[in-house]
Structure 1
Amino acid sequence: MTLIHQALLFDSPSVFLAAAVPFVTEGVRRGDTVLAVTSAEHEELLREHLDGVAERITFLPASGWFDSPGRTLNAHHRRIDELPGTTGILRVLGEPVWAGLDPLETSEWGRYESVMNVALAGARAWLMCGYDSRTLPTAIVDDARRTHPALTVGTRSEVSAAYADPVHYYAERNAPLLPRPAQGVERLPHFVDMGPVRQFVAVHAIRLGVPADRLDDFTLAVNEIATNAVRHGAGHGEVRIWATGRRVVCEITDSGHATDNFLGFLRADPHAGHGHGLWIARQICDLLEMRTGESGTTVRLHMRRVL
């Protein structure tokens, strides 16, 4: 089979259960690998209605699974890679965590939902993503119809008439980057090798709020993007770093122009000698923004701050 990606739209516990219980129990019966990545409330509800098969389902907290778009995408890849045999599939009943997100995070998680249709297109996976219209803003529920080819409401499944081509959806999310702050921006105006870049990050990242145990990872991510800037730009680039209320942002700019779609969202061939930098950076960082055009390329790497 190839990927099935559907949104479960519900407005009550009974509607949620009407779709979720058959989905996971059929997976258990078929010998699939079944994950339930839901709220604590819905995990408890499911366990009450699974008639003895709960122990054959892996329950995971949604807050840990839906941690960052890049890491969540890679978590799906890892589980698919680990599938036993050639017939079973990965079934994920998931509830993306939308509460408490700022506009940028909300936009990037929408992008993730759309890109999944391309990144996992040939995978042995069936993803059912829950959207609770009682608690979620209408705009997020409406957007689910655009990012999921299939919809389920209770026991009724249908093709989503509002589904948007991921290429077009991705382009819609590429609005101009927010302006840099007027103050508090540190700048490395010119680099041609990675030593000064790594030193620049080491000097400023902890002071701005990057957790000490994530400094090495953050430095690695910046190094990967800066290396791309040198290799694919004009042989040099520029780095800036600053803090927002929630995150530390490191921005790398160069004069190169990338032409691929879904930059850093599609896993590179592990045997390829190049093409891994953006993918690695997306795994490490909490958010990654990228804009590219004839005037050059800008990548912003976001890491949550210690507050």
Structure 2
Amino acid sequence: MTSTWSTLCILSVLHVCLIGACPCEHLVADPLFPGGHNGGMRIDCEFHEHGLTEIPTDCFALYPDVSQVFLDFNEITTVNVDSFNGLNNLKTLVLKKNKISSCHDDAFAELHQLEFLDLTSNKLGNAPASVWNLSNLTKLSLADNNIKDSSSFNIPNLFNLKWLDLHLNHLEHIPTGSFDLLSHLQILIIKWNILQEMPDLTKNLALTEVIANGNAITKFPKHVFSSNLTSPITYHIVDNPAWDLPASMLLDLPWHSHIVTDNDEEIWCLDESEKEDLLSRSWTIQDGMGRYLYLEQLVRVCGLDGMPDPCT
């Protein structure tokens, strides 16, 4: 009896010590994020009082069954290979607004249930390789980092992805075919990079918004989207060097789509028939300041407007 009592006391002391070693709160999961239902719990260290400088692994040892982890707005610099070991039920991991410059390629390898990964506003030079094996991801943000090279991207593995944010990096190119298998992709944010061409999105029929502002695109292709998109789309292309838009690119957009472009763009039709088709469309067109633009003032016909045109 004495031995049993001693064991219980030791276990109680250990439990108290573990709790003391965990600087985060253990709370009911947030219903706005994956893992927020069915009795899920979360570890929450947003805006930690003293600014976390490392991943709080003691918390994970104490609460391995959590479905959400929020570590945003801290001072974390490194993510190790074993930082998230044992979190087999994790569905949401938020690491945005830290100072992460070093992340082991296998840091996320065991997070097979993960649906939402947010690495926004860190100092990553590359996307960790294990990110591209998270086949259950529906939402991924690598925005506002220092990523230049996309050759290691393996986006097609993320076939459940609905939302992808790559904005504010230094990307010049996205590998051909990267989005072909993403049949569920709805929102793609690639603004404020230095992309020189639009990616091919003709296989992504579920798209509802594409934001490509502030890149280095000098010429838009004749076709970016499929003509079989399932719903109206919002398409942002403000602040690119290209002054000329092919009418065929816009004619693939469903009726009631929303186009945000520069007010000095010219939309070039091959002939009067294509112009008539273009002017019949019911779209909302605005500039980057939210001012409405009139389609008929932007349209030109190749060979008929007495000026050099991009049609030849």
- Structure with more relative contact order (C-alpha pairs < 8 Å, separation 6 or more): 1
Which structure's residues are more often strand, by fraction?
A: 1
Q: Which of these two proteins has the greater Rg computed from alpha carbons? A: 2
Same fold (TM over 0.5): no
| TM-score of the two chains, using structure 2 as the length reference | 0.23
| TM-score of the two chains, using structure 1 as the length reference | 0.23
